[in-house]
Amino acid sequence: MTYERHTLLRIKLWRARQIIMENVQIIVLAAGHGKRMKNGNIPKVLLPFKDKPLITHLLDSIEKANVCNKPVIVVGQKADMVKNTLGPKYDYIYQSQQLGTGHAVKICQKFLENKAKNIMVLYGDQPLISPQTIRDLTQTHLNSQATLTMVTISVNNFLSWRKTYEDFGRIVRNKNGDLLKIVETKDASEQEKQITEVNPSYFVFNAGWLWKNIHLIKNSNIQKEFYLTDLLEIAISQKRKISTISISSKEGLGVNNPEQLALLSRVN
């Protein structure tokens, strides 16, 4: 390859990355109290994992994926501690009441509307998602021109370290394999709890559609929370295009209690 062709290729690759970064904004949800962690005054996302705060593993993957210029982090409990630890590299939005994942994204609308064509949502307590998965999720969404693109994980069973996935929402499909809905474990029937395809809640949305429809989410569930996952049913009811990618089971692991934090070290 000549020097001129090599330079042209580098310019094309750089421009392709710029186009992606101009089209995708990442929101990281990090406002949860983490009451089950029994961690005293330390927010859950700042708990140590492999010698650094839990959330920084995710933020490192986002940076390496090179799909977003400046992630937005939704903070709540001990917000100042989180911001002081992570620094000015990120934008922060304060969630005063933790009313669910749908509510956490909804409060970002005023700040993000008209700033990006697509919105990706990730979680500060799920540190094992890889840069490649973030890139694949982004590229699948952009290439398919879907309204909503999501990740699913299939496990053989809920035994051993996979038991943590019992708490994840179940992916409900029809006989043809088409997506019907996501049912949160707390709201699932016994039959639905047997489904082994689960939702790690990694989503990308068309931003215009998201901001128009996020107000349709209701909190008519046992937890009385606004679930971001309800947007799938809304998209299906509107006959919108939905894309999915499948990832390795370990990438979806999160932390809700001390046992799950210990599990991360064993499986990764």
**What is 55-120 written as a DSSP string?**
HHHHHHHHHHHT--SS-EEEEBTBHHHHHHHH-TTSEEEE-SS---HHHHHHTTHHHHTTT-SEEE
Residue 12 scores a pLDDT above 60: no
The percent of residues above 70 in pLDDT, for the chain, comes to 88
CA dihedral sign, ordered 176, 180, 185, 191: negative
Each residue's pLDDT tens digit, 215-248: 999 998 888 899 999 999 999 999 999 999 999 9
* pLDDT, mean of residues 55-70: 97
Which CATH code fits 20-267? 3.90.550.10
Sequence ranges of the domains in the chain: 20-267
Place 266 in a pLDDT band, splitting at 50, 70 and 90: confident
Answer for the pair 267, 259: CB distance below 8 angstroms, yes or no: no
